[in-house]
Amino acid sequence: MQELHNDTSIKTDELQSFLVQFKVLGNIGINANSIFYVLNLNTMKYEYVNDACFSFTGYTSAEFYEKGMHILPLIMADEDFKLLTTTLFPKMNDFSKDLSFKERSKIVFEIYYKMKHKSSGKTIQMVEFSSYTKFDDNEQPILSTGLCYETSQDVNGVKGVVRLNEGEKQITLFEEKITYKKEKLTKTESTIVDLLIEGLSRKEIANQLSISLHTVHTHVKNIYKKVGVNKVSELIKKIG
């Protein structure tokens, strides 16, 4: 997550004023069931984490403050942390960098992953919503805020969405899901899986990728073997 780092530091009085307002909002209603946080992108440390973090992770707020972003591999399922940090989040971050400042100030990152508890080892499917809430003079984000809570949506991997918040309307700009099974596929196999899920026939896939139908058959055979399925409907159920 080092790509989030900002060399500019935020003024102490500006930070304290922001934290006062944020804590007031964070104490309205759903505090006990959600983790609220403020992340300083200069220090890569948490400026605020509410006490709900302990019930979800087994780590106290003080431990979050001490460890900063280094706490993430400790509170996320191992496979999810790997997929997020090596593949999904870098894609989301690179995408956001191409947006205008006006757009970046309105985007919301929506990320699905499993959170694990230090003592019990139990994992919980979480959804995290975060956004950039303070920018420096160069229009680069300096503070990020977010909330995490348990969701019934089982992702079987990780999922990331970037939405543009336009008042009551939200526009999806980016969306990608990476399942544990799909991570084992080659780039070409992964592309073919996406096209199969979209409903394209093997002949249509061959034409779109400019490869022979025989090559598509071979790729599909390898995909089925890796994922452990025998037909497209089973593939969609496992990966789609």
Domains of the chain: 2-177 (3.30.450.20), 182-239 (1.10.10.10)
The band of 74, judged by pLDDT with boundaries at 50, 70 and 90, is very high
Q: What is the pTM of this model?
A: 0.78
| pLDDT of 156 above 90 | no
The band of 28, judged by pLDDT with boundaries at 50, 70 and 90, is low
Strands 35-40 and 141-150: antiparallel
Residue 26 pLDDT: 62
Question: In this predicted model, what pLDDT tens digit does every residue of 212-235 receive, in sequence order?
Answer: 999 999 999 999 988 888 889 888
* 182: nearest Cα among 111, 96, 87, 116: 87
What is the spatial distance between Cα 59 and Cα 75, in angstroms, rounded to a whole number?
8
* 68: nearest Cα among 43, 91, 89, 93: 43
Non-local (6+) Cβ contacts of 188 within 8 A are 209, 219
| pLDDT of 180 above 80 | no
| pLDDT of 240 above 90 | no
Average pLDDT of every residue of the chain: 90
